[in-house]
Structure 1
Amino acid sequence: MLVRFWGTRGSLPVAATASIVQDKVAHALLAASGRSFADIEEARSFARSELDFAISGTFGGATTCVEIEAGDPANGDAFILCDMGSGLRGFGLDAMRRCAAGHARVYHFFMSHLHWDHIMGFPFFVPAFDPNAHIVIHSGHEDAEEALRRQQEEISFPVKFDWLRAKIEFRTLKVGETYQIGAVQVELMEQHHSHSSFGYRFTDAEGKVAVFSTDSEHKLDRMEGEADVEQFFRAADLVICDTMYSLADSVSMKEDWGHSSNIVAIDLCHGARAKRLALFHHEPVYSDADIARMHAESVRYEELTREHDPLEVLCAYDGLEVSL
């Protein structure tokens, strides 16, 4: 199983401004301390190996979209996607390239919920205009089709939903059921969020498990009621978890906003004996330096509270690939 992150921000897309880019360049020049490079590859090697990621790269600004590659695409296994945030546009362009090389034109989407930042990429999803594509949209919400059609009404978008040429179908999944969809078994869990959200647990034929759990609020003072979440996360090889806020933000001015903190995510993964955690759904006002600082604090907190095997704490960014 391979997990690709196409969009990792929450709420709305963000882009680096000119001043942010200039600041990164200035810090890189200071770190280079007058040295020269023979060619661009040598300069890139310096950036990768000697600069902090918050300077040499970026966590990105696209909203939620995660690809789960399972099975064997050469044997006709379908694409598997979680959510349709603005990161879906980049995935769609890459998928068309892969389809031209022989990948099946079948797309299974699993929707956490229907808020705009999680569906806004669909009108820009190029395979939706491919008459040979088959798109299946799975959700715990019975009104998923209504939400996607509504955002393409004329008052909001110039291309109507009915103008899309792919075969598109909607399937409502039920909590407590296990579904074999493509190369994975899928289970879902209802979560704490406005209009509800759903987490998904994907298990491939080799027993590898990836959990996608975003837009869910887990409160620090109510952790005794989270046994069902720990069970859902149990022994997962990777848990992609909503860590939008710092602990201070989550318990103060942003309480009841439907999101969680890095600290709570680590506690849940420790209780579940999960192997890896990906911090996810980054707050749009947080800079790359802010997110990198939260990641470092998370790694340290995991070390201090560890009682069993280590939990590897990753920080998701647009373009990250994780092999399970």
Structure 2
Amino acid sequence: MLVRFWGTRGSLPVAPTAMAIRHKIANALVAADGRRFENSADAERFVDRELSFAAGSHYGGATSCVELEAGNGSYFICDMGSGLRSFGLDSMRRNAAGHKKTYNFFLSHLHWDHIMGFPFFAPSFDPEATIRIHAAHPDAEQALRRQQEEISFPVPFDWLRANIEFEQLTPGKSHEVDGVRIETKLQQHSHDSYGYRFTDADGRAVIYSTDSEHKLDKMDVEAAFIEFFRNADLVVFDTMYSLAESVSMKEDWGHSSNMVAVDLCHEAGAKKLALFHHEPTYEDEDIQRMHEESIRYEELTREGSPLEVICSYDGLEVRV
């Protein structure tokens, strides 16, 4: 399976400010220390080899949208955040080269940052496209139609030309979709959210678990999550807050922390963890610092096989 991250922020889209870009350029010039670059490729090698990710790049600002390349050639997409616009345009390029025009969406929940990209999803205007929206929420269609009412958006839902179908998922039940087995799990979040486990024909498993709060005083619930994550090849996990934030001033906000993510993945024997759903007020340096702290925490608490901890960003591709 190939996992592509099209949107990795939480709550609302963000963009780097002019001051933040200016700060990056100034720091890069200082790090270059007067050296001369023959061309842009030479300069990019310097950025890749000698600057940290936060100094030389950007984690991105689009909200949740993750693609899984799996199954029999259909698209698999988790959530419809603002990153969906970029995925839609890229998929049309692939469609022109012969890719199957079947889109399987899996919605974690219906909050706006997770569905706001759908009105800008270009393939929804293609009469040859089939869009299947899988959700455990019975009001998924209502939520998508409501955001395209005239008071909110100029293009009504009924003007879309793709064949759009809504598929109700049953939590705890295994579903087979275009060659991939999907399991859903209820999570702690306002109006409920659902995690997904995707398993392909070769037994490789990817977990998508965002907008889920984990309580230290509800270990029976956490034990069920450990089983849900068991031996996963990749766990995409909501790490919006630090542990201190998640158990103090932001308790009951419906999100989790990097430390809890590492603990659950260790217990489950997962192979790789992707930090996800980044806090929109965090600068690149803040996200990188959380990533570094997560790696150190994993090393300190490891008892068995190592867990690889990566930090998702818009444009990241991970093969499992």
TM-score by length of 2: 0.99
CA distance in 2, matches of 1:122, 1:248: 34
Matched, 1:239 2:239: no
CA distance in 2, matches of 1:225, 1:150: 33
Q: What is the deviation of 1:224?
A: 4.8
- The residue aligned with 2:69 is 69
Report if aligned partners of 1:219, 1:264 keep a CA contact under 8 Å in 2: no
Matched, 1:130 2:111: no
Q: What is the deviation of 1:44?
A: 0.4
Superposed CA deviations along residues 172-205 of structure 1, whole A, max 9, x for unmatched, are: 1001211110131100001000000000000011
Report if aligned partners of 1:295, 1:315 keep a CA contact under 8 Å in 2: yes
Q: How does 1:172-321 map to 2 (within 5 A)?
A: 172-321=168-317
CA distance in 2, matches of 1:23, 1:200: 39
CA distance in 2, matches of 1:286, 1:222: 29
Matched, 1:148 2:147: no
User: Which moved further from structure 2: 85-94 or 174-183?
Assistant: 174-183
Superposed CA deviations along residues 79-129 of structure 1, whole A, max 9, x for unmatched, are: 000000000000000000000000000000000000000000000000000
- The residue aligned with 1:93 is 89
Matched, 1:84 2:80: yes
CA distance in 1, matches of 2:216, 2:223: 13
Superposed CA deviations along residues 196-230 of structure 1, whole A, max 9, x for unmatched, are: 00000000111110000000000234345311100
Aligned partner of 1:169: which letter? Answer: E
- The residue aligned with 1:103 is 99
Q: What is the deviation of 1:267?
A: 0.6
SS at match of 2:251: coil
CA distance in 1, matches of 2:51, 2:219: 38
TM-score by length of 1: 0.98
Q: CA RMSD in A?
A: 0.8
CA distance in 2, matches of 1:222, 1:26: 48
SS at match of 1:11: coil
Report if aligned partners of 1:185, 1:203 keep a CA contact under 8 Å in 2: yes
Q: What is the deviation of 1:40?
A: 0.5
CA distance in 2, matches of 1:19, 1:223: 44
CA distance in 2, matches of 1:222, 1:140: 23
CA distance in 2, matches of 1:176, 1:189: 6
CA distance in 2, matches of 1:179, 1:119: 22
- The residue aligned with 1:16 is 16
Report if aligned partners of 1:191, 1:216 keep a CA contact under 8 Å in 2: yes
Aligned-pair identity in percent equals 67
SS at match of 1:180: strand
SS at match of 1:274: coil
Aligned partner of 2:90: which letter? Answer: D
CA distance in 2, matches of 1:323, 1:71: 14
Q: What is the deviation of 1:232?
A: 0.4
- The residue aligned with 1:34 is 34
Aligned partner of 2:203: which letter? Answer: G
- The residue aligned with 2:5 is 5
CA distance in 2, matches of 1:225, 1:196: 15
CA distance in 2, matches of 1:185, 1:32: 49
Structure 1 unmatched ranges of 5 or more: none
CA distance in 1, matches of 2:71, 2:217: 41
Superposed CA deviations along residues 217-273 of structure 1, whole A, max 9, x for unmatched, are: 002343453111000000000000010001111111111000000000111101100
User: Which moved further from structure 2: 215-224 or 150-159?
Assistant: 215-224
Aligned partner of 2:110: which letter? Answer: L
SS at match of 1:313: strand
Report if aligned partners of 1:220, 1:264 keep a CA contact under 8 Å in 2: no
